[in-house]
Amino acid sequence: MRIYLVHRVLTAVVVYSLALGAAGHQQSNCVSRIPEGRITGHCISIRQCEYFLRILQRPDISQAERNLLRDNRCSRQEDVQVCCPVDGYLSGLGALTNPLLPRECGVVKWTRLNETDTQIDEFPWMALIEYTKPDQEKLHACGGVLISDRYVLTAAHCVSGHSISSMGWQVRNVRLGEWDTLTNPDCQVSKTSKQPDCAPPHQDVAVEEIIVHPVYNKDGKSQTNDIALIRLRNPAQLNDYVQPICLPNKQVRADELEDLVTEVGGWQTTSSTRMQKSEVIITSIENCQRQYAQQNVQILASQLCGAAKSNECRGNSGGPLMLLKNNVYLLGGIMSFGPIPCPSPGWPDIYTRVASYIDWIHENLKP
């Protein structure tokens, strides 16, 4: 079978879950006390909180650290529960070292369900890029992901690729807070109360600047460095339906994510106008390299490979590969390209590995 490599239109979301017991369950927010101050946290098992688990695993715990553990205990259950800092346990991640990126990001505020249909407030960092054709017709094609109230991350081919330039399309706006592309505002009937849950109208925010990675080559078959930043003209209005995702630690390697079961989501499917999701498995980078070499495509360590566990593609170009850790989503990758037909059993999709570009992202942010 011949595999044709193409960019996907619209957005991909991917979720990776570590085996941490009841990962979908969390109690209400609490205030976590850490040396840097007080920040929002979640009351969860200490075994699920890396921030405090690292302290417990030290050979000699200081008295100050003992006091910290005691002060953050939030439940008297047999399984010790602590107020795990939302961004505190992500210490060391690139997202927390830049004042222009949010301290609170990627927080799960919905009940996670193993269903194809997403909920109205699920993945609130999802973005759709709006293009204007030469005849002034507007359409949404590629996706993106909100990383702050002023910046959206997407694939470079979505804003400077051959298909965009050859057709004369112009990137004008970014849509945030979308769920059902046929309605505005969007509403979903609650399964418990049977009452409609309605989101505010979606936000179409004008684009101020597009920053394409300087080494991206739109003619290259491997599509390395397929990443771009979009600066919004005005800050996005954050609410429960519009929130930024967290950036990952730049030390996270591709092989560390191998075999993780993830999710993708977006609006590519023809079966629904609402955002859909499905599972994806991160595959071996070495196997992926050997496989794509058959098509004279070189896969590098700055990329990720993911195999869809679905008979229908739901993710789209430029959208996020999301990693779920301690009920917080990190941005693992950006959808770059994949085989046609989609999905093609045995042929993974290719993502730009965001951890490889943390320094570039930080260098290009401005107030």
Q: What is the pLDDT tens value at each position of the chain, 367 positions in all?
A: 334 455 654 333 333 222 222 333 344 467 787 775 666 678 888 887 878 887 888 888 888 888 888 888 987 666 788 888 765 344 434 344 578 898 789 988 887 777 788 899 999 999 999 999 999 999 998 999 999 999 999 999 999 977 787 888 999 999 999 999 999 999 999 877 788 989 999 999 999 999 999 999 998 999 999 999 999 999 999 999 999 999 988 766 676 778 887 777 788 777 789 998 877 889 999 999 999 999 999 999 999 999 887 766 656 789 998 888 777 888 989 999 988 777 677 889 999 999 999 999 999 999 9
pLDDT at residue 233, as a whole number: 98
Angle at 151 between CA 224 and CA 234, to 5 degrees: 145
pLDDT at residue 301, as a whole number: 92
Supply the DSSP string of 52-92, one letter for each residue.
HHHHHTSSS--HHHHHHHHHTEEE-SSS-EEEEETTGGGTT
Beta strands, E only, 155-271: 170-176, 187-189, 196-198, 203-212, 228-232, 261-266
- Sign, CA dihedral 315-320-321-324, equals negative
Which residues, 6+ apart, have CB-to-CB distance to 21 below 8 Å?
45, 47, 48
pLDDT at residue 21, as a whole number: 29
Q: What is the reported pTM?
A: 0.77
Query: 44, 326 in Cβ contact below 8 A?
Result: yes
> What span, in angstroms and rounded, lies between the C-alpha atoms of 177 and 123?
9
Backbone angles phi, psi at 354, to 5 degrees: -65, -35
Active site members: 157, 226, 317
> What span, in angstroms and rounded, lies between the C-alpha atoms of 56 and 324?
23
pLDDT at residue 150, as a whole number: 98
Which residues, 6+ apart, have CB-to-CB distance to 305 below 8 Å?
282, 283, 284, 285, 287, 288, 299, 348, 349, 350, 351
Tokens 């990443």 locate to 227
Residues in the chain: 367
- Sign, CA dihedral 216-95-328-355, equals positive
CA proximity to 125, closest of 100, 93, 152: 152
Tokens 């300087």 locate to 214
Chain segment 192-231, per-residue pLDDT in tens = 778 898 999 999 999 999 999 999 999 899 999 999 999 9
Query: 286, 305 in Cβ contact below 8 A?
Result: no
CA distances from 176 to 80, 124, 128, 197 (A): 39, 8, 7, 18
Residue 328: half-sphere exposure toward Cβ, Cα within 13 Å = 29
| Amino acid at residue number 272 | S
Query: 70, 336 in Cβ contact below 8 A?
Result: no
> What span, in angstroms and rounded, lies between the C-alpha atoms of 83 and 55?
14
When computed from its CA atoms, the radius of gyration of the chain, rounded to whole angstroms, is: 20
Query: 69, 82 in Cβ contact below 8 A?
Result: yes
